[in-house]
Structure 1
Amino acid sequence: MTLENNSIRSITDEVRSKWGWFVALGVLLLILGGVAFGNLFIATVATVYVVGWLMLLSGVVEIIHAFGVQTWGRFFLWLASGLLYALAGIFAFYNPVLASTVLTFLLAVSLVASGALRAWVGFDNWEQKGSGWIVTAGVITVLAGIVIAIGWPVNSLWVIGLFLAVDLIFQGWSFIAFGLALKK
């Protein structure tokens, strides 16, 4: 056996010995997903707050970076960009419901655009085996974006929370399945 194989085996054995932690994390994520499903509005607001913090921190970093730029023209561009990010983050805290409306609209637009691109790539490679799955996924993504856009702005109070809840539940089940597979 080579040193690389021993190293990989050691890492694999170490991960296998932690299978219970993966299952526990999965259970925790399932519980959090259930809580999020129980109150989609609070889950939406919590997600908006996280996005707000990330934007505020990004804005502060860009403002600090602006002072390291050597030319005045670029300094003002970085400063303006950082200020806009920071203001958007502050806005998310000031009015999370309106921020969720904006984020839901951006989500709908992003889903339509990415789904259309995915479908186009699938059609462009139609001669390739499996391209029908890419087209199908693209069409479903476009339809999801359209459904969100049709319900906008009313659905802004729960759509982002629903996405969070579904993601937490899928992550929970995947960690549980991974942990139980490691146990075997």
Structure 2
Amino acid sequence: MNLKMALGPGTSISGPQLWRTFIGIGAALALLGILASVNLLLATILATYVVGAAMFAGGIFQLFHAFSVRRFSSGVLWGLAALLYLITASIMIVDPLLGASVLTVFIGITLAASGIARLILAFRHSEGRAWMILSGVISIIAAVLVAVSWPWSSLWLLGMVLAIDLISQGVMLMLFGFSLRSAASVQ
């Protein structure tokens, strides 16, 4: 796939504005990631607020959907799901440290489950078995580290994940922007 196909139909890679936009957005994201890494507790609290706000908005949409469902029993189930979303979101917004603690437990469980799944898959397939075993073991070790350091890990883990994600997304977008600039200069 070439660069023009990746950008989509009608997109010009010759304009200087496009590559500058990617580099600018990438630099901003990387800077936000660096700022987040300076204060992981604040980044964790902010990440919890964002997740809580998104869940609250989702709960409101689900509640509207519950009232639009024709069958009463289905509407009640949708309404209960919406209330669960709204209650969980409210707890995360009112007490972000409790929300961060719950999210940290969820991350630990997810790491353990994905590590175990990769180990099982590694023994079912011979291709890339060693890498899959290594990946699974690393995920399980990460899950154990989260578990043994909990609840203290809930103070910094989400902030660290957010910082790493922002930095990596920013670097990726900047590199993509530089590749666009190179492609535009070739044309």
In the superposition, the TM-score normalised over structure 2's length comes to 0.87
How far is the alpha carbon of 1:182 from its aligned partner? 1.7
Aligned length: 178
How far is the alpha carbon of 1:156 from its aligned partner? 0.6
Is the 8 Å Cα contact of residues 25 and 170 (structure 2) preserved in structure 1?
Answer: yes
- In structure 2, the CA distance between the partners of 1:77 and 1:15, relative to structure 1 (3 Å rule), is farther
1:37 lines up with 2:37 in the alignment: yes
* Matched residue type, 1:142: I
Distance 1:159 1:72 in 2: 42
Deviations 1:36-87 (A, max 9, x none): 0011011001110111011111111111111122222222111111001011
Distance 1:66 1:8 in 2: 37
Q: 1:150 aligns with which of 148, 151, 155?
A: 148
Unpaired runs of at least 5, structure 1: none
* Matched residue type, 1:146: V
- In structure 2, the CA distance between the partners of 1:43 and 1:77, relative to structure 1 (3 Å rule), is same
Question: Runs in 1 of length 4+ with deviation above 2 angstroms?
Answer: 7-17
Deviations 1:98-131 (A, max 9, x none): 11111101110111101211221122112x2x23
1:153-164 matches, within 5 Å, as: 153-164=151-162
Distance 2:181 2:125 in 1: 41
* Matched residue type, 1:179: G
1:1-184 matches, within 5 Å, as: 11=11, 13=13, 18-126=18-126, 128=127, 130-184=128-182
Is the 8 Å Cα contact of residues 13 and 180 (structure 2) preserved in structure 1?
Answer: no
* Matched residue type, 1:132: A
Distance 1:82 1:117 in 2: 31
Deviations 1:12-42 (A, max 9, x none): 5257751111111111111101100011011
Distance 1:9 1:69 in 2: 38
In the superposition, the TM-score normalised over structure 1's length comes to 0.88
Is the 8 Å Cα contact of residues 42 and 159 (structure 2) preserved in structure 1?
Answer: yes
Distance 1:121 1:15 in 2: 46
Q: SS state of the match for residue 13, structure 1?
A: coil
Q: CA RMSD in A?
A: 2.2
Using the aligned pairs only, state the percent identity: 34
* Matched residue type, 2:168: F
Distance 1:67 1:27 in 2: 44
